[in-house]
């Protein structure tokens, strides 16, 4: 039997008036290391499985600051229900508000089929740090099928619209030298803030496995590949130390 569940978070400068988990998506307020609120997503059961439809909605209202992380990786698994699983993330960040969206890795287990969509709507003065990490297969196994789409709007205008596909059923070449080059961990880090409008970043390589690309807006996108999850996280953490003004996003 497939599962349908939506978790909701609303953050204001004075607290979290809405913090509602559902099904496998349990939410807990945890101690923040800086200003603002922090929420940790805790998986209450195995999900997403084939046929599941899960969603998380987070709204950061004007002047608020919110960090969302996770207690453990999300593992996409095959299920008995026909069809792929769906996981939708919908984020809204108001004027002079900040969202740090820092989940753990998404693991695409062999035999799974997941469609993941993330949509972000930012006000013109909003700040965003968004990290995505995909691990293609558990240790010693091949990947499942994974389709992801990340859409970001700023002040109602497109900032980024990116679609990726890996595993069986993905377009030929997804594992080739021009895409993953045999790596099994891929991730990206999106930083959005007014400081990039005042001082745009320059495109450049970051070591041997990451590239920084300025976007047509006050934002930079870092894309990285690695042999495993540990080294991928290390690369992205190093990026936060190297990118100018990234301390404003911590």
Query: Pick the residue with more confidence: 10 or 237?
Result: 10
Instruction: Identify the CA nearest to 189 among candidates 156, 159, 213.
Output: 213
Q: Is residue 249 part of a domain?
A: no
Q: What residue numbers bound the domain in which 151 lies?
A: 4-182
Tell me the per-residue pLDDT of 175-210, one tens digit each, with 9 for 90 and over: 776 678 778 899 999 999 988 888 888 888 887 788
Neighbours of 129 (CB within 10 A): 20
Q: Is residue 73 part of a domain?
A: yes
Q: Is residue 59 part of a domain?
A: yes
The number of folded domains in the chain is 1
Reading the block at residue 17, the tokens are: 């008036």
Q: Is residue 14 part of a domain?
A: yes
Q: Is residue 193 part of a domain?
A: no
Tell me the per-residue pLDDT of 73-116, one tens digit each, with 9 for 90 and over: 999 999 777 789 999 999 999 999 999 999 999 999 999 999 99
Neighbours of 182 (CB within 10 A): 10
Instruction: Identify the CA nearest to 136 among candidates 179, 83, 86.
Output: 179
**How many Cα neighbours within 13 Å face the side chain of 96?**
4
> What is d(CA 237, CA 242) in angstroms, rounded to the nearest whole number?
9
Q: Is residue 56 part of a domain?
A: yes
pTM: 0.92
Q: Is residue 23 part of a domain?
A: yes
Q: Is residue 29 part of a domain?
A: yes
């Amino acid at each position: 039997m497939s599962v349908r569940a939506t978790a909701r978070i609303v953050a204001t400068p004075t607290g979290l008036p809405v913090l509602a988990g559902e099904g496998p998506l349990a939410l807990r307020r945890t101690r923040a290391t800086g200003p603002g609120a922090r929420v940790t997503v805790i998986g209450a059961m195995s999900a997403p499985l084939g046929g599941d439809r899960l969603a998380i909605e987070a709204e950061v209202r004007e002047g608020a600051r919110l960090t969302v992380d996770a207690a453990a990786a999300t593992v996409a698994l095959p299920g008995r229900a026909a069809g792929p699983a769906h996981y939708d993330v919908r984020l809204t960040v108001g004027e002079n508000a900040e969202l740090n969206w820092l989940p753990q890795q998404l693991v695409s287990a062999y035999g799974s089929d997941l469609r993941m969509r993330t949509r972000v709507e930012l006000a013109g003065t909003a700040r965003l740090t968004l990290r995505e990490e995909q691990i293609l297969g558990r240790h010693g196994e091949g990947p499942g099928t994974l389709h992801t789409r990340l859409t970001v709007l700023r002040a109602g205008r497109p900032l980024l619209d990116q679609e990726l596909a890996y595993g069986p059923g993905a377009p030929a070449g997804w594992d080739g030298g021009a895409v993953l080059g045999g790596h099994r961990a891929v991730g990206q880090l999106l930083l959005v803030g007014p400081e990039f409008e005042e001082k745009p970043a320059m495109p450049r390589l970051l070591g041997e496995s990451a590239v920084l690309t300025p976007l047509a807006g006050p934002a930079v996108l870092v894309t990285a590949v690695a042999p495993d999850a540990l080294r991928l996280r290390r690369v992205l953490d190093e990026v936060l130390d190297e990118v100018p003004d990234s301390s404003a996003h911590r």
